Amino acid sequence: MTVYAIWNNKGGTGKTSLAFQAVTRFAEKNPNKKVLVIDMCPQANMSEILLGGQEGEGSKNLLVQQGKTPRSSIGGYFDLRLKAPFSPPVYSANDYVSHPKDMNVEIPGNIDLVCGDPLLELQAIAMNTLANADIPGVNSWLSVIDWLKELLSNLEYDYVFIDTNPSFSMYTQIALAASDRVVLPVMADDSSRRAIQNAFSLIYGLKLPSEVYSKYTFAKKMSDAGRSLPKIHLILKNRLTQYMGTASAFHAVLLGIDSDISQLIKSYPEHFGFLSVADGAVDVRDFGTTGVVAFARGCPFSTMPTGKLTLSGRRVQVKQEYRAQALEAIDAVVDKII
């Protein structure tokens, strides 16, 4: 089982829409592999898209999953663990897994889903309290950080993709602790450039503003527990169509991002799954209307029709040429996932 976390502590990078298209395309290209998506974001946008999107009652289908007993979502599983935080109870892991194709025929049949849940924000408060509990003979932090890892040990999948929240909340740390690889989406702007540096501070405890923080970092706690950290596997430079051309004001930022990544690889090669920017970064064009329509319909680019389509009662045009370009961009991502 190989586990990917799709994460950036900065919002607005197109993470969820990219993840949806990349994971569904990956599953299409690998029909003999069992794929699990875990939605670790309280907004649960990934779940809504997989379950039908705006046009296919994805929100309603998500509420149905969350209304089951036990609650078929990551929040339902964490509810179980809040009652038994330091040792796993007897349970059926499959109770928390949904099959999107039952609700959205566009989704490949080899994808399963652990739905997202707004309960995560409330649960994070309790998780932090439990993780800091002083209990003789118990590593409280490690017990909580391993909750997702424990769930995965009771499931059989070839690949797991975790869509995370743009934060470093306790549930995000739980996701990263269960992951082998990180996919980091960025935009061509200064805040994304800073976010790359922030990601290395948060995950790996590097370039901290003060040594005071070093003993409290995620990396230090993982190291003390003898656990390895996930490696940066891909950096996705998203929506580049907006920033093309040497005359663009963003061109220097793009060059700066490449320079920053190159320096990080040189200084900390152990944290990367690649040796050069060319090997580990993928330029992804802006999907425009094609992406908006696919998102709303819960539809992979490969199966989305072109021409005049209905979206929220209005007619929109999806050009075949643009869909082909979008699919080509996603294929470039998928080719570097394994």
Domain assignment of residue 188, given as a range:
2-334
pLDDT tens-digit readout, 2-32: 999 999 877 666 788 889 999 999 999 999 9
Q: What is the CATH number of the domain that holds 298?
A: 3.40.50.300
Q: In what order do the strands lie in the sheet with 231-237?
A: 111-114, 35-40, 159-164, 2-6, 181-186, 231-237, 281-283
Please check whether residue 277 is in contact with residue 262, taking contact to mean a CB–CB distance below 8 angstroms: yes
Residue 240, pLDDT above cutoff 60? no
Q: How many CA atoms lie within 13 A of 225 on its CB side?
A: 19
Tokens of 126: 């309790």
For CA atoms 84, 217, 231, 233, the dihedral sign is positive
Cα gap 280→233, rounded to integer Å = 7
pLDDT at 13: 64
Categorize the per-residue pLDDT at 196 as very low, low, confident or very high, splitting at 50, 70 and 90: confident
In 3D, which of 18, 70, 67, 15 has the Cα closest to residue 41?
A: 15
* pTM of the model as a whole: 0.93
In 3D, which of 190, 192, 137, 198 has the Cα closest to residue 172?
A: 198
If one counts the domains in the chain, the total is 1
Please check whether residue 322 is in contact with residue 305, taking contact to mean a CB–CB distance below 8 angstroms: no
- Amino acid identity for residue 304 in this structure: M
Residue 125, pLDDT above cutoff 90? yes
Residue 247, pLDDT above cutoff 50? no
Task: Tell me what the pLDDT averaged over the chain comes to.
Answer: 89
pLDDT tens-digit readout, 269-313: 999 999 998 899 888 878 888 888 888 889 999 998 888 777 777
